[in-house]
Structure 1
Amino acid sequence: MRATVVGLVTPHLLRVVDLANDAEKGVNVDWHVRDAVSRSMAELADQYNAAALMQALVDGLESAAADAPRARTAYARVLKSAAEAARRLLRD
């Protein structure tokens, strides 16, 4: 089985989306989001194409935040903060 960018990044992206859904229900997920993003970036950094994988995660989070329905403000806020955190880790 061959690993692809989508196959490697999607589980990490979905983990953050699940947390964003929890935030929409009123759960405080800030710490969990920071932890999920830092763990995801660390796991992706171990791959041979780490730069492409980490950029794909950032792009996926930004895209999900941009596509979020306007009525789901907490959902969009969590995705935006996750994208910002991932982008900061990518620069470091």
Structure 2
Amino acid sequence: MKATVVGLVTPHVLRVMDVAKQAESGANVDWHLRDAVARTVDELGQQYNAQDLLSAYVQGLESAARDVPPIRKVYADALQAAAAIATRDLRERD
């Protein structure tokens, strides 16, 4: 089976989306977002095409945040926060 960028990145984006959904119910998810992003950066960062994978991860989070209806602001904010954390971690890797 051949691994693709989408196949490698999608589970990580979905993990953050699950955490963001918990934020809608009033849970404090800051630590969970940071943990999910840190694990993703660690796991994808070990791949030979880590830069491409991590860039796709950030783009996936940003895209998901943009596509959220305005009524789900807390959810979108959590996705944007995760994208910001991932972007910061990506810059530190360079």
Q: TM-score, normalised by structure 2?
A: 0.96
Once the 2 structures are TM-superposed, how far is the Cα of residue 27 of structure 1 from its aligned partner?
1.1
Runs of 4 or more, structure 1, over 6 Å off, are none
Q: Partner of 1:35 in structure 2? A: 35
Segments of structure 1 that go 5 or more residues without pairing to the other structure are none
- Percent of counterpart pairs with the same letter? 61
Q: Partner of 1:61 in structure 2? A: 61
Q: Partner of 2:75 in structure 1? A: 75
Aligned CA-pair RMSD: 0.5
TM alignment of 1:6-17, pairs within 5 A: 6-17=6-17
Structure-1 separation of matches of 2:12 and 2:21 = 15
Structure-2 separation of matches of 1:68 and 1:89 = 24
Deviations 1:28-61 (A, max 9, x none): 1110000000110110000011000000000000
Segments of structure 2 that go 5 or more residues without pairing to the other structure are none
